[in-house]
């Protein structure tokens, strides 16, 4: 009795009228169509998407030495390498001692800097700038941008004297020591000075650009990291030509440009602009009377001013 009632209930539960059966068949058909479309759609669309090609970035000329490294050129990357977000720096370097971090700072892609280190670890040597072209992945654009900054010291050849012949000593001839004019010197000339490496060369060139040139050798003491021993070594090798100074048109320069000079702060620049707006052009005597420029600072500023 119980089994019969259960069968009747089960038959009634799964009973569908004609309209419901048609709906179920339609739903099954739609589901099957969706599954087939999902399976075959990738095959139908394969090869129909156009390949995006990224045009190489145009090469930007290497910035002149008197421009800051922040406005230096952007080197196109080697194909297959990710683009660098940081602008490459420019400084004198020796590829035989260049570290991986310094190489990436110069604009070397990650793989190219690793290739450079691997080449040296295997005993490879760079004898001149053109040897950089031998590195796998070195592009023509990157080499053209870096070639002026390559500095490889000349190797000193040693000769063994035959001890059979007697040794003769000859008096050494004294040659006049040449001094380097610092306001017109380029990076290769400065880095060649005794006791000055690529790091100090960059700092000297940057500070020279900010000042508009040096009017005194003692201004080198103001460069960050300049020790007394380094200054003494450098001062004995350089001279200053004051005619190379870039003058400041003190009666025409605007506030923002004036305050960027290392010897002016906002208060001093504002006082000069306010004086000009009230009294017109100022003179050297007017600068002394402003009361905001210390006497020792004024002595450094006056050689740069143009009235």
Helix or strand holding residue 239 (H, E): strand 238-239
Backbone φ and ψ for 293, nearest 5 degrees, come out as -110, 115
Q: What is the pLDDT of residue 240?
A: 94
Q: Which candidate, 118, 194, 186, 116, places its Cα nearest to that of 149?
A: 186
Residue 67 pLDDT > 60, yes or no?
no
> In percent, how much of the chain has pLDDT > 90?
27
Query: What is the percent of the chain with per-residue pLDDT over 70, rounded to a whole number?
Result: 79
Alpha-carbon distance values, 179 to 6, 182, 214, 241, 301 (Å): 115, 9, 15, 12, 26
- Cβ-contact 128, 152 below 8 angstroms: yes
Long-range contacts of 97-104 (CB under 8 A, 24+ apart): none
Confidence bin at 91 (pLDDT 50/70/90): confident
Q: What are the structural domain ranges in the chain?
A: 69-149, 180-244, 248-306
Report which of residues 160 and 148 the model is more confident about. Answer: 148
Query: How many residues are there in the chain?
Result: 307
Q: What is the pLDDT of residues 269-278, one digit of tens each?
A: 999 999 999 9
pLDDT of residue 46: 62
Please name which of 124, 61, 68 lies closest in space to residue 98, comparing C-alpha atoms.
124
d(CA 70, CA 84): 14
| CA-wise closest residue to 209 among 90, 53, 35 | 90
Question: What CA–CA distance (Å, rounded) separates 109 from 114?
Answer: 9
- CATH T-level assignment (fold) for domain 248-306: DNA polymerase; domain 1 (1.10.150)
On the question of a common fold for 180-244 and 248-306, the answer reads yes
- Under the banding of pLDDT at 50, 70 and 90, the label for residue 10 is confident
d(CA 88, CA 105): 6
CA distance 42 to 276: 74
How is residue 181 annotated by DSSP?
A: E
**Longest C-alpha distance within the chain, in Å?**
135
pLDDT, tens digit, 9 for 90 and up, residues 233-251: 999 999 999 998 999 999 9
Tokens of 100: 């991986």
- d(CA 286, CA 288) in angstroms, rounded, equals 5
**Which CATH code fits 180-244?**
1.10.150.280
What rounded mean pLDDT belongs to the chain? 79
Rg (CA), the chain: 37
* DSSP one-letter code for 305: E
Per-residue pLDDT reduced to its tens digit, 12-37: 777 778 888 888 889 999 999 888 88
Nearest one of 237, 178, 165 to 204, comparing CA atoms: 237
* The pLDDT value given to residue 100: 86
State the DSSP string of 155-175: PPP--PPPTTSPP---PPPP-
Say how far apart CA 259 and CA 110 lie, in whole Å.
Answer: 39
In angstroms, rounded to a whole number, what is the distance separating the alpha carbons of residues 290 and 270?
11
The correct answer on CATH 3.20.20.70 for the domain covering 69-149 is: no
- Which of 22-31, 146-155, 222-231 shows the lowest mean pLDDT across its residues? 146-155
């Amino acid at each position: 009795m119980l089994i019969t009632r259960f069968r009747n209930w089960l038959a009634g539960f799964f009973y569908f009228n004609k309209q419901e059966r048609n709906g179920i068949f339609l739903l099954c058909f739609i589901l099957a169509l969706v599954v087939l479309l999902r399976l075959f759609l990738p095959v139908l669309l394969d090869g129909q998407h156009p390949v995006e090609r990224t045009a190489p970035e145009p090469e930007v000329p290497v910035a002149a030495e008197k421009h800051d490294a922040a406005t230096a050129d952007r080197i196109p990357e080697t194909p297959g390498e990710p683009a660098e977000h940081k602008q490459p720096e420019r400084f004198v370097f020796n590829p035989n001692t260049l570290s991986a971090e310094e190489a990436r700072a110069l604009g070397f892609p990650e793989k190219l800097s690793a290739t450079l280190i691997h080449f040296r670890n295997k005993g490879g040597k760079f004898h001149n700038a053109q040897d950089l072209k031998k590195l796998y992945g070195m592009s023509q654009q990157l080499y053209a941008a870096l070639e002026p900054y390559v500095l490889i010291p000349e190797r000193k050849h040693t000769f063994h004297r035959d001890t059979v012949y007697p040794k003769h000593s000859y008096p050494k001839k004294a040659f006049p020591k040449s001094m380097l004019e610092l306001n017109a010197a380029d990076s290769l000339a400065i880095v060649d000075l005794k006791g000055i490496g690529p790091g100090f060369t960059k700092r000297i060139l940057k500070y020279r650009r900010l000042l508009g040139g040096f009017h005194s050798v003692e201004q080198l003491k103001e460069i960050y990291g300049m020790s007394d021993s380094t200054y003494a070594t450098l001062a004995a090798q350089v001279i200053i030509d004051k005619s190379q100074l870039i003058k400041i048109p003190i009666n025409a320069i605007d506030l923002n440009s004036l305050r960027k000079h290392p010897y002016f702060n906002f208060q001093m620049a504002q006082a000069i602009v306010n004086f000009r707006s009230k009294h017109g052009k100022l003179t050297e005597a007017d600068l002394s009377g402003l009361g905001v420029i210390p006497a020792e600072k004024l002595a450094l500023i006056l050689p740069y001013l143009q009235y």
